[in-house]
Copies of this chain bind each other. A is one copy, B any other.
């Protein structure tokens, strides 16, 4: 069975799916679209698709088996439920919902109607993320104790509904679902604590944020989104007992620095100088905490780049639709993401960390 698609919301992302993301094979066909905006409906007609101005009529069209929802965040719930109840399979853009309760309703509707339901977590196939995943699984860093996921910039928030609270704007619902989903994929353990600090510097929605996650297995993770940071830090900073990985940005410029001498000899030097002897090196021992390692005690490894592969999501969806594979993004995984987001909003609101079991 081919994947035949009707798109709800032919805005930037809807068109982008049609034009760029969907694989260019016969297995994937966009046939129809529904949009509330008249000019977009005209545009859709020009592409040769069936264009609807009524959701009911759109959902009655049995030429397509899959609905792609790519509308502002606050409209996902009603649209996903309507599509599932109309017997369609559903792919929803992220964030799938405004909170965990909404996606639980979606999952229930998906089960009730026995239809596929998945969330487009495309950044599971970003090159930078796949590099991090590989490096961690290869053990190159020793025992990883902390993962820092940063999205830094000084461009503010895009000037559309992403700035509007009632539409589900703000950076926690924008980059948050990607960063949290990636961390949950990387770290096979439950989230036991969330500490979030969401700032509203320029908008009514959160525009700068940090979240500290703690996992049951002892790892900690940072999620950072700054839209007011005029100096950016790398996209990834992964700390292990034996080495560190930094990946600069989405292009995947990545480097590992590893220790090849287990214990630094300066500790022993310090013993020599402990007591009434002339300090040979540094003014105070503490300063040496920051001293760069001599080059002969480390190795620097350039990490091979991995290409982004967003079509993978659709190829998997085709397999799942034909009963040959499990969904790449399972709705229960997206539910976990939304649970973490719920707790993060609440943590920031009350100004305290929140213990959880997610």
Find A298's partner among B201, B230, B266, B292 (CB 8 Å cutoff).
B230
Contact B16 A283, beta carbon cutoff 8 Å = yes
Q: Could you tell me the distance between the alpha carbons of A259 and B227 in the complex, rounded to whole angstroms?
A: 12
Contact B160 A270, beta carbon cutoff 8 Å = yes
Contact B11 A153, beta carbon cutoff 8 Å = no
Find A285's partner among B43, B158, B246 (CB 8 Å cutoff).
B158
Name which of A55-63, A235-243, A334-342 contacts chain B: A235-243
Q: Could you tell me the distance between the alpha carbons of A159 and B288 in the complex, rounded to whole angstroms?
A: 12
In the complex, how many angstroms separate the beta carbon of A182 from the nearest chain B beta carbon? 14
Q: Could you tell me the distance between the alpha carbons of A215 and B170 in the complex, rounded to whole angstroms?
A: 23
Asked if A111 lies at the interface with its beta carbon under 8 angstroms from chain B, I say no
Tell me the residues in window 148-193 of chain A with beta carbons closer than 8 Å to chain B beta carbons: 151-160, 171, 174-175, 192-193
Q: Could you tell me the distance between the alpha carbons of A157 and B267 in the complex, rounded to whole angstroms?
A: 8
Contact B230 A258, beta carbon cutoff 8 Å = yes
Name which of A24-32, A78-86, A272-280 contacts chain B: A272-280
Contact B351 A271, beta carbon cutoff 8 Å = no
Tell me the residues in window 12-42 of chain A with beta carbons closer than 8 Å to chain B beta carbons: 12-13, 15-16, 19-20, 37, 39-40
Find A287's partner among B39, B199, B243, B250 (CB 8 Å cutoff).
B250
Count the copies.
Answer: 2
Contact B274 A199, beta carbon cutoff 8 Å = no
Contact A155 B220, beta carbon cutoff 8 Å = no
Contact B231 A212, beta carbon cutoff 8 Å = no
Contact B230 A275, beta carbon cutoff 8 Å = no
Q: Which residues of B contact A10 (CB under 8 A)?
A: 276
Contact B230 A244, beta carbon cutoff 8 Å = yes
Q: Render A189-216 as a binary contact track against B, CB cut-off 8 A, 1 for contact.
A: 0001101010101100000101010100
Q: Could you tell me the distance between the alpha carbons of A283 and B13 in the complex, rounded to whole angstroms?
A: 9
Find A155's partner among B157, B174, B255, B291 (CB 8 Å cutoff).
B291
Q: Which residues of B contact A197 (CB under 8 A)?
A: 212, 214, 220
Asked if A249 lies at the interface with its beta carbon under 8 angstroms from chain B, I say yes
Q: A227-B289, A233-B237, A244-B229 are in contact. Are A274 and B156 (CB under 8 A)?
A: no
Q: Could you tell me the distance between the alpha carbons of A42 and B210 in the complex, rounded to whole angstroms?
A: 54
Contact A40 B275, beta carbon cutoff 8 Å = yes
Asked if A352 lies at the interface with its beta carbon under 8 angstroms from chain B, I say yes
Name the CB-closest residue of B to A208: B145
Q: Which residues of B contact A214 (CB under 8 A)?
A: 197, 351
Contact B158 A293, beta carbon cutoff 8 Å = no
Find A156's partner among B235, B239, B263, B351 (CB 8 Å cutoff).
B263
Q: Which residues of B contact A210 (CB under 8 A)?
A: 212, 220
Contact A276 B235, beta carbon cutoff 8 Å = no
Contact B44 A283, beta carbon cutoff 8 Å = no
- Excluding A153-B290, A227-B289, A230-B293, 18 further A-B contacts by CB distance (< 8 Å) are A16-B283, A19-B279, A145-B208, A152-B290, A153-B289, A153-B292, A154-B293, A155-B291, A158-B285, A159-B270, A175-B289, A195-B212, A195-B353, A226-B239, A228-B241, A231-B257, A232-B290, A233-B237
